[in-house]
Amino acid sequence: MHIGTGAALIACTLVLGGCGNSLKCALQGDNLKGHVTLAEGVPLASGADVVIEVSSDSFVTAAETVTRENLHALVAVPYSACISNDVDFNVRAFQDINGNGALDAGEFLGLYDGTSDGSGTARTVNLPADETNETWEVEDGVDITLDTES
């Protein structure tokens, strides 16, 4: 069976565009960027993943999850993610010591709250949609400090 160019383009768009900004992120790059920093006193766990979660429902569910390997026990780990436009999101991160991808007791976490110690109220990230497709909004500096043991 021969698939025409138009059908292939539509199929590609459906695959890449399935979750809001996936196609734009594939073309323009991720639109949420920052670093996860381990606060003083947080044990450096070599090989423990750092998991970043983006949620619109107070972390009942995660709209986007990014996992970064921290093989060398770095104090700061960069990350980026692709989020939908015109939706209020909060961002948190945790050190996944047991490697199961879920936040468990004894693992350190932090919120994007604009403080260096992670003790503030979670900030909301909302990237406006660009109806003209002339600009690509990027929220940079969404930095999170891991400092609270769950």
Express each pLDDT in 32-51 by its tens digit: 999 999 888 888 888 889 99
Say if 7 falls within a structural domain. Answer: no
- Asked whether residue 82 is assigned to any structural domain, the reply reads yes
Cα–Cα distance between 61 and 90 in angstroms, integer? 11
Smallest CA-to-CA distance from 84 within 34, 36, 24, 133 is with 24
Please list the helix, strand and coil fractions of the chain in percent, rounded to the nearest 5, in that order: 15, 30, 60
For position 138, which CATH number holds? 2.60.40
pLDDT, residue 18, reads 37
What one-character DSSP code corresponds to residue 33?
E
Would you say residue 24 lies in a domain?
Answer: no
Quote the domain boundaries for residue 79. Answer: 29-149
Domain-embedded: residue 121 = yes
Does residue 8 fall inside a structural domain? no
Would residue 12 count as lying in a domain? Answer: no
Which of residues 121 and 11 earns the better pLDDT score?
121
In a domain, 22, yes or no: no
Q: Which residue has the higher pLDDT, 77 or 114?
A: 77
- Asked if residue 110 lies in contact with residue 93, where contact means CB atoms within 8 angstroms, the answer is yes
Residue 1 covered by a domain? no
Q: Give yes or no for residue 52 having a pLDDT over 90.
A: yes
Confidence check: pLDDT of 20 > 50: yes
pLDDT the model gives residue 133: 66
Q: In the structure, what pLDDT confidence band is assigned to residue 144 with cuts at 50, 70 and 90?
A: very high
Kindly report the average pLDDT of the chain as a whole number: 82
Domain count, the chain: 1
Tally the C-alpha atoms within 13 A of residue 66's C-alpha that lie toward its C-beta.
21
